[in-house]
């Protein structure tokens, strides 16, 4: 009812501040049309995913990066402002669509000659999923599967992230 709708509005407001996502609903619409528009914006195709990275294992200590992606993207943390290079030891996927692939690299150019981690989202994620370490040899849970390719360790050495969104 009304309380649930207010909660949706509060969540949209917090999400819009965190991800620069602004609903495109007119306040001059009828109440029913406006409500339907706001509710449809909660998981808009323009918001494809959101990842937070943490300094400590298990999503603890300081947040080192907060990235929202709307499609296939890549970030070199030596060049990208707002993300700490060589600090993260864990991450959370706050939301992502099934089929999305996420890669983390020790090498800032994404070369696979050093440590890297591959993650594939198995089903839509709408609540945070924490990956406690970048160095789990095989990651498998109901939401993601992944594999770590070791050279000398990735925890605390993440310098690049790549996201590939499945558009078919």
> Could you tell me the pTM of the whole model?
0.73
pLDDT score recorded for residue 17:
34
27 class by beta-carbon count within 10 Å (0-12 exposed, 13-18 middle, 19+ buried): exposed
The residues, ordered by sequence, that sit 6+ positions from 30 with a Cβ below 8 Å of its Cβ are none
| pLDDT score at 33 | 62
Q: State the 10-residue block means of pLDDT for the chain, 168 residues long.
A: 40 36 46 54 62 96 94 92 92 95 97 97 94 89 95 96 88
């Amino acid at each position: 009812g009304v309380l649930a709708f207010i909660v949706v509005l509060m969540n949209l407001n917090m999400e819009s501040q965190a991800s620069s996502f602004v609903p495109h609903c007119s306040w001059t619409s009828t109440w029913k049309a406006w409500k339907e528009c706001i509710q449809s914006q909660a998981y808009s195709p323009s918001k494809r995913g959101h990842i937070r990275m943490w300094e400590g294992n298990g999503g603890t200590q300081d947040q080192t990066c907060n990235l929202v992606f709307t499609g296939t993207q890549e970030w070199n943390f030596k060049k990208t402002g707002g993300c700490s290079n060589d600090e993260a030891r864990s991450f959370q996927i706050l939301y992502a669509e099934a089929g999305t692939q996420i890669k983390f690299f020790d090498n800032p150019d994404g070369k696979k000659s050093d440590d890297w981690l591959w993650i594939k989202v198995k089903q839509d994620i709408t609540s945070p999923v924490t990956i406690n370490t970048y160095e789990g040899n095989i990651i498998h849970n109901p939401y993601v599967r992944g594999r770590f390719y070791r050279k000398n360790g990735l925890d605390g050495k993440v310098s690049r992230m790549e996201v590939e969104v499945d558009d078919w």
